[in-house]
Amino acid sequence: MMKAQGRHALSWPMLLASVASSSIVAALIHPAHAQVTEINTGPPTAQAVHPLPQAALPRAASVDGVTLDTISVSGSRSGRGLVVDSSGAQVGYIAKRLRSSTKTDTPLIDTPQAISVVTQAQIRDQNVQSLGDALRYVPGVAIAQGEGHRDEILIRGQRTNADFFVNGIRDDARYFRDLYNTQRIEVLKGPNAMIFGRGGGGGIVNRVLKEADGVPIREVLLQGGQFANKRMALDVGDRLSETAFFRLNGVFEDTGTYRNFIDIRRYGVNPTMTLLLGPQTTLRLSYEFFSDNRIPDRGIPSQGGRAWRYRDNTATLFGAPLISRGSIDAQIGTAQLDHVFENGVVMRSQSRIADYRKFHQNAFPNGPVNADNSEVVLRTYNSQTDRTNYFNQTDFTYKFATGPVAHTLVGGFELGYQQGIDFRRDGFWNTTGSRDLVVNPYSPVTAVGATYRNIASGNNNTYALGLAAAFVQDQIEIDEHLQFIAGLRYDHFNFESRDRRDGSLNARIDNLVSPRAGVVVKPLDNLAVYGSYGVSYLPSAGDQFRVLTPGLALAEPETFVNAEIGVKYDVTPALQLTAALFNLDRTNQPIPDPNNPGFVLGAGRTRTQGAEIGLNGYVTDWWAVAGGYAFTDARISADLSDSVVAGNIVGLVPLNTFSLWNKFEIGGGVAVGVGYLNQAHSFAASDNTVRLPSYSRFDLGLFYEFSEAVRAQVNIENLFDRRYIVSAHNNNNILPGAPRTVRFQLMARF
């Protein structure tokens, strides 16, 4: 009966998705006032053999060894062009090509996978600094609270705090990422193990960073706003010579927030260099130091199945600010060597060393407010989670033909070693000597101190993970109407965790094979219908693999299997419409044994079925859009515990979401941005006992260009000052959304 209900529930959104997509196509197939005057969307030319230009060229002229797609949109209200380069970096709201999804330079329309790209222009126009805020307009993505000290998201109903990447290499430490040096954000949906390795069951998020490209840039950004917001960012780059380029990005932020006692202070610097070592060899170097210090915010508790008085507690902290603090210092060094061999084989080898020093200590509500509104229990703990990553990815790409059939063959390997410490100490309140402190929920801030110690159930271990992987993939073009992609990746994981208290060691070795297959049918050059199948695995130690208990050492890896069909349609060369239907099954999810701590009973399952529609680009030369709709039916399909049972909805996954950001060029340097977010209700956790209400929110942006070198903007988030819940971590760590928030920004180029 439960399965039958799931199929019935899915049919209506599928019908709505079909009707909506047809309506949008009908409305936009001949958008008025759009005049596309220059189009070049062909494949890389023979001249594009050097990874970077050797002469001063426009910013989008040549990147990563390929000729750029250029789309110029002009009209009566805009003399500016929209430029899209083949690596996906662009000025504007549209990306035409991508490398990360296939490790080859491939048009998005030819990629059998749902992909959303948040461009630098969109990031800047919406004036977002956090990764979570930047992803709110991406269909199929939900934001978790992350215990107030880390990025945590759900893609297609799969929760993760580790499936984050930078230029294709894993960036899996738990912290809040800043976007000061980000060129664009790529969200690749569905299992991606063939390209990215373990995890990524619902999808991955890849940040592509700014790099030295030899084009002069001198840009300063100043920002201020409510809640004592102060921020400055810098972007400076030029040529040192004809063969050496540099670029420097930096940021400093010192700000309060709409939540009482929650302050943030962070800064980062990211110098990069590009060296042309020869006519066919390029070396790129990057170093980043980033520091973030804040008080972790765990939100408010619940009562009777809903967030407790959240309309009155938007700013209220439940905790102990005098003893709460969180910090991370990250140092990341990267070297990338690109070389084109005489036989046409292209090599790309990227190495990265990343060191993360992470500590957080917080207090939080550990249960609901009691029935007479007189008591709520607080607990506190601290955690040290240092980590060092060593990675190398090397791949080789070769294009050839077998008769009339064209092939793009890529193969390579990945080597990695990750080591760290996971040390948790629980707090015992100085006034009670116990872990529980009862406070009045109407006055939930305490100045009581605590003594911290490592208890038997708290982690105190070191760990190490060795990784060796090899992969191969072939993109096969039968003709201009039919393409296939097939790939396979082999991963060898060797993980061990050592308890520092007694020296006991738990270890596990996994050898995993992840396949990928897809087909693209193109009845028209601007229309593609695709189908895809992919499998991903997550070893039993989990997302962060910080500890391996005896029970987990015996458990098989989790498996994610995704089947997807979709349509991609370039309504015009500057406007993309996409739609996808998918089924994602997750199996071997560990179920804790309540009678035998540290061991598991068996394996649970979840199933996510859904539909997504995305719209990005330019409806006319003066109207840019980004957003979409997602229907996500994520359900527990086998019991996980006494309270998390088959049929429950996965926590934090709303059934329906809709988002649309619009920017209108008015003329005379004036532009207006209008955003709308709508999210159906969800549950704080998968036991479905605490319901998070649905909400709608409007955002506004006002822009004025004094000249080509100076721009001012005002952003108003939550224009109508709605009270709502934006995310949660569990049933009693629930975060209210920000009230109306105004920020001012001035950007100057020299």
pLDDT 10s digits, 319-340: 999 999 999 999 999 999 999 9
| List of residues 6+ apart from 3 with CB closer than 8 A | none
Cα angle vertex 143, ends 544, 131, to 5°? 80
Residue 23 has pLDDT above 60, yes or no: no
pLDDT band at 91 (very low <50, low <70, confident <90, very high): low
> pLDDT grade, residue 667 (50/70/90)?
very high
Cross-sheet strand order for the sheet of 35-40 = 35-40, 70-74, 83-84, 90-91
Question: Which CATH number fits the domain that encloses residue 397?
Answer: 2.40.170.20
End-to-end Cα spacing for the chain: 66
User: For position 90, what pLDDT does the model report?
Assistant: 56
Please state, in angstroms and rounded to a whole number, the distance separating the CA atoms of residues 222 and 747.
6
- The secondary structure of the chain in percent helix, strand, coil, rounded to multiples of 5, reads 5, 55, 35
Please give the full DSSP string across 700-727, using - where no structure is assigned: EEEEEESSSSEEEEEEEESTT----EEE
The SS3 of residue 109 is helix
Sheet holding 141-143, edge to edge: 141-143, 153-155, 158-160
Q: Across all residues in the chain, what is the average pLDDT?
A: 87
Q: What's the pLDDT tens digit per position in 173-217?
A: 999 999 999 999 999 999 888 999 988 889 999 999 999 999 999
565 pLDDT exceeds 80? yes
CB 320 within 8 A of CB 445: yes
Q: Is 290 exposed, middle or buried (0-12, 13-18, 19+ CB in 10 A)?
A: buried
Buried b (16+ CB within 10 A) or exposed e, 544-574: bbbbbbebbbebebbbbbbebebbbbbbbbb
What letter would DSSP give residue 132? H
Percent of the chain surpassing pLDDT 90:
78
Structural domain count, the chain? 1
Determine the pLDDT at residue 642. Answer: 81
CA dihedral 82, 85, 86, 89 (to 10 degrees): -100
Helix, strand or coil, per DSSP, at residue 28: helix
126 φ/ψ angles, rounded to the nearest 5 degrees: -85, -10
For residue 629, what are the contacts with CB-CB under 8 A and spacing of at least 6? Answer: 17, 20, 139, 612, 613, 656, 657, 658, 659
**Segments forming the whole domain that contains residue 455:** 2-749
What ranges make up the beta strands (E) of 226-304? 229-241, 244-256, 263-278, 281-294, 302-303
